[in-house]
């Protein structure tokens, strides 16, 4: 295998896929990226056995072939070379040599045949939507995914297809985020799949341009093709909770507030909240919201805010970070917080928005 290309031509695909390469690996080959040269195309693949990313670029190929090299090292070398530098890459035996100007690097390799790749995913249906719309769907829900929960099915994002609707739902057991978009054509079948956390975050990073995106859902994988980048992720094999039962239906009182002012008040109060539990107390009376926070050092914060509220006086506690995350995901200037009583979940949404809802469970303070 021997090729030459500009530094930027090789660096761009490496930057697209390097997020999948973990710094510490149980299997040495997972620290490597697979380089495949066919005709005048170089494809670079990285995987952690859960998420796979493949990026392609045009190069001048003298000889074809495939090999795996340390991903982070190759990326860092290309990044450190001057802009516009011409790179020559050649494989010989168990080494790869990279030359650029008066610089020369020799990297160790592992056999390409040992690199784990996903070729076919047994496609069951393909959905098409706008990239920016799909990215927004992920942005409005990803923050509610659990991190390293023993209930492994919570460490990901649920995608649910039904007719012309694609819905995304995430919950960590303490809060829930739900958002949906309308597809350009009806889904071929109704189904639920759970994409793991890392796959969701990588996908979010890749969806930065205009245009369409095709999501292909297979029996155990989901695949997305984007401008020379192919994203493939395993699906989590598990049953997602019946999230509909968590969304409050019996709303007795609604607080309508300026989203920006409420966010700022919560952020200020959070400075003196308990660092571990992050609790704030909301004290409600007619058209008035009092936010209180304190910590074990006996420090206190209090914020008063004018709101639209004509329900019964009530005190209720929440994790302030959960409230702030939900408020950040609301698009409107005004926000509504729906409550039933001091022991029930809070439903947060924009006054005119029906396709995005956020639920936060109360906490005892």
Query: What's the pLDDT at 209?
Result: 84
For residue range 149-174, list pLDDT tens digits in order.
999 999 999 999 999 999 999 999 99
User: Taking 90 as the threshold, does the pLDDT of residue 45 lie above it?
Assistant: yes
Query: What's the pLDDT at 128?
Result: 93
For residue range 270-303, list pLDDT tens digits in order.
999 999 999 999 999 999 999 999 999 999 999 9
* Beta pairing class for 221-226 and 156-162: unpaired
Taking the domains of the chain in order of start, what are their residue ranges?
2-114, 123-244, 247-360
Residues whose CB falls within 8 Å of the CB of residue 176, separated by 6 or more in sequence, listed in order: 144, 169, 170, 243, 246, 247, 358, 359
Same CATH fold assignment for domains 123-244 and 247-360: yes
Contact 154, 177 (CB under 8 A): no
Domain 123-244: top CATH class: alpha beta
Sheet holding 212-218, edge to edge: 65-70, 32-38, 41-47, 51-58, 229-234, 221-226, 212-218, 123-130
Measured in degrees and rounded to the nearest 5, phi and psi for residue 203 equal: -65, -40
Measured in degrees and rounded to the nearest 5, phi and psi for residue 296 equal: -60, -15
Q: State if pTM tops 0.85.
A: yes
Query: What's the pLDDT at 224?
Result: 96
Domain 247-360 has CATH 3.40.50.1950: no
User: Taking 90 as the threshold, does the pLDDT of residue 240 lie above it?
Assistant: yes
Task: Work out the pLDDT band at 111, boundaries 50, 70, 90.
Answer: very high
Token pair 């709303």 is found at 251
For residue range 192-207, list pLDDT tens digits in order.
999 999 999 999 999 9
DSSP letter, residue 363: -
> How crowded is residue 94: how many other Cβ atoms within 10 Å of its Cβ?
10
- Which whole number is the average pLDDT over 305-310? 97
> How crowded is residue 73: how many other Cβ atoms within 10 Å of its Cβ?
16
Q: Measured between alpha carbons, how far is 55 from 46 in angstroms, rounded to an integer?
A: 9
Q: Is residue 204 within a helix (H) or strand (E), and if so which, with residue range? A: helix 197-206
CATH of domain 2-114: 3.10.150.10
């Amino acid at each position: 295998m021997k090729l030459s290309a500009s530094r930027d031509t090789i660096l761009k695909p490496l930057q697209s896929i390097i997020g999948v390469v973990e710094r510490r690996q149980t299997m040495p080959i997972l620290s490597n990226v697979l380089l495949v040269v066919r005709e005048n195309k170089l494809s670079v693949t990285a995987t952690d056995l859960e998420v796979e990313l493949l990026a392609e670029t045009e190069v001048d190929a003298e000889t074809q072939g495939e090999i795996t090299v340390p991903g982070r090292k190759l990326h860092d070398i290309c990044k450190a070379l001057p802009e516009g530098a011409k790179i020559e890459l050649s494989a010989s035996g168990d080494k790869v040599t990279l030359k650029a100007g008066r610089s020369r690097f020799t990297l160790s390799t592992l056999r390409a045949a040992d690199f784990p790749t996903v070729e076919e995913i047994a496609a069951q249906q393909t959905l098409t939507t706008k990239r920016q719309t799909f990215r927004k769907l992920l942005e409005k829900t990803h923050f509610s995914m659990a991190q390293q929960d023993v209930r492994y099915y919570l460490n990901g994002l649920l995608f649910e297809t039904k007719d012309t609707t694609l819905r995304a739902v995430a919950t960590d057991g303490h809060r829930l985020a739900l958002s949906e978009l309308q597809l350009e054509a009806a889904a071929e079948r109704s189904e639920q799949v759970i994409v793991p956390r890392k796959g969701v975050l990588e996908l979010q990073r890749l969806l930065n341009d205009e245009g369409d995106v095709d999501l292909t859902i297979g029996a155990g994988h989901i695949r997305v093709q984007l401008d020379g980048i192919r994203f493939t992720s395993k699906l989590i094999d598990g049953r997602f909770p019946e999230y509909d039962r968590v969304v409050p239906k019996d709303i007795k009182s609604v607080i309508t507030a300026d989203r920006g002012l409420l966010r700022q008040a919560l952020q200020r109060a959070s400075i003196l909240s308990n660092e571990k539990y992050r609790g704030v107390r909301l004290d409600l009376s007619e058209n008035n919201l009092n936010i209180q926070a304190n910590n074990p050092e006996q420090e206190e914060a209090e914020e008063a805010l004018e709101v639209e509220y004509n329900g019964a006086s009530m005190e209720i506690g929440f994790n302030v970070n959960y409230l702030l995350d939900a408020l950040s995901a609301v698009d409107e200037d005004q926000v509504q917080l729906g409550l039933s009583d001091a022991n029930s979940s809070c439903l947060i949404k924009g006054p005119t928005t029906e396709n995005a809802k956020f639920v936060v469970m109360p906490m005892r303070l």
